[in-house]
Amino acid sequence: MASTTDTNSPTNQGLKSLRILCFGDSLTAGFSGYGYFHYPYATHIRKKLKEELPDTDAVVDVSGLSGDRVIAGQFLERIKAVSEKAKHTPYDWIIILGGTNDLGWSERPDNIYESLTVPFFTMNDTRRAMMWDDGLHLTMDGYEMMGNAIAVKLLELLQVAKDPLNTGPKKPPKSHDSQGANGDD
């Protein structure tokens, strides 16, 4: 398991601790260039957290296995092993990306890509070439964009956790039509 911990930092004393695990398949590993390069998005999460939370020692570990499958692979055994290993120093957050390889075998590509944060088919050719390596894996720029997008959302969640009264965007009030026949929700 790789870690993006900054080993050159002076001292971690006095800093808040934040432990994050990025777990998954080749997308988590940062597989690019047909395996010649790896650019884990976790690197960019850590960088963004360090910029936004300078008083926090953010440890971001990576456990990505190219080709792993949730149904017919080692995915579940791996997550159990990581959880067991981290029992005494648990993670505060675990980001799981799984099922990409499974979906590749049974789902239509347009159904898969519709649910991605980075919409492959709606990008113009120039942007697609910049972000996507082989149609499934990302380029260095693509992994950076993915890491930054996750970090922004994680920072929002951390703010809500720090201030429980800040519960994020308010839900619009239910219209009268959405109530049940007896007026109850």
78: Cα separation from own chain's centroid: 17
Tokens 């499934």, residue? 136
pLDDT (0 to 100) of residue 130: 84
pLDDT (0 to 100) of residue 166: 54
Could you give the CA distance from residue 92 to residue 114 in angstroms, rounded to a whole number? 29
Quickly count: other Cβ atoms within 10 Å of residue 79's Cβ. 18
Strands 31-32 and 37-38 turn out to be: antiparallel
pLDDT (0 to 100) of residue 159: 77
Could you give the CA distance from residue 76 to residue 60 in angstroms, rounded to a whole number? 20
The pLDDT profile of the chain, 185 residues, written as one tens digit per residue, is: 665 544 444 445 678 889 999 998 999 999 999 999 999 999 999 999 999 999 999 999 999 999 887 766 677 788 888 888 888 888 888 888 877 777 776 644 454 334 334 455 567 888 888 888 887 788 888 888 878 878 887 888 777 667 656 555 554 445 444 444 444 44
pLDDT (0 to 100) of residue 179: 41
pTM score = 0.60
pLDDT (0 to 100) of residue 20: 93
Residue type, 122: T
